[in-house]
Amino acid sequence: MEKIIEIVRGDITRLEVDAIVNAANSSLLGGGGVDGAIHRAAGPELLAECRNIATARRPGEACPAGEAVITGAYGLPCKKVIHTVGPVWYGGSRGEPELLASCYRKSLLLAEDAGLGSIAFPNISTGVYGYPKEAAAEIALEAVKAALPQCPHIRRALFVCFDDENYRLYRRLAG
Ligand code: APR
């Protein structure tokens, strides 16, 4: 079945897809950027569920970089939120590319396991975490294209760009 990859501009919290991906931090207890926007739109029940996951795991490392967890979506229009923790950019010699690719791959596999049909990604690590936008976009597109064939349920993958630079980059790289 034809898989659709879309590049869209806008606010991920407004998308009525099955899952949106949150660029979280390893505590899973919220933050700024898209993490803050998602928690604001979802409401306090999302933080409560994240806190339950965090307390069941090692303190401070609820979700290591490159990993992902899935929760409910509460006040958001989507069905599930997949929280993944991108790498902080230290110059590229600390495994950042592999960790970033892992965020996209593991998020897709969680959505597939949940039987979801559509998933929307923000531009993970390209804000507070400082990952160079073009390198991140190339990794994101490549990782999603490589993992989609192992995800028979997933029909649509969207890359949601909040800023112009990312939008132009993704449009150019996605062809
Ligand atoms: N919808 C879609 N994308 C958004 C939104 C939104 N509402 N708000 C911000 N973004 C974009 C940013 O413009 C950026 O391109 O999300 C991308 C990721 O940026 P950040 O949110 O800063 O995430 P990241 O760079 O991965 O840093 C994660 O920031 O917010 C904290 O708790 C978070 O500590 C973690 C860190």
Residue 35 Cα to ligand 1 middle (Å): 6
CB-neighbour burial class of residue 31 (10 A; exposed 0-12, middle 13-18, buried 19+): middle
Beta bridge partners of residue 81, listed in sequence order: 20, 71
Q: Rounded to an integer, what distance in angstroms lies between the CA atom of residue 175 and that of residue 164?
A: 17
Tell me the CA–centroid distance for residue 121 and ligand 1, in Å. Answer: 11
pLDDT value at residue 86: 98
Q: Which residues of the chain have pLDDT under 50?
A: none
Instruction: Sketch the domain layout of the chain as residue ranges.
Output: 4-174
Q: Which residues line ligand 1 (CB under 6 A)?
A: 11-13, 23-25, 31-37, 86, 122-129, 160, 162-163, 166
Residue 117 has a pLDDT of: 98
| Model pTM score | 0.98
Give the Cα separation of 17 and 38 in Å (integer).
Answer: 14
The CA distances from residue 85 to 115, 167, 172, 174, in Å, are: 22, 21, 26, 24
Cα 28 from chain centroid (whole Å): 13
Residue by residue, DSSP assigns 110-158 as: HHHHTT-SEEEE--TTSSTT---HHHHHHHHHHHHHHHGGG-TT--EEE
At 58 the pLDDT is 79
pLDDT of residue 59: 73
The class level of CATH for 4-174 reads: alpha beta
Is 135:97 a contact under the CB 8 Å cutoff? yes
Residue in this structure with the two tokens 């976009």, named with its chain if needed: 137
Of 11, 18, 35, 164, which residue is the catalytic one?
35
164 catalytic residue (yes or no): no
Separation CA 169–CA 54 (nearest Å): 35
Q: What is the pLDDT of residues 69-85, one digit of tens each?
A: 999 999 999 999 999 99
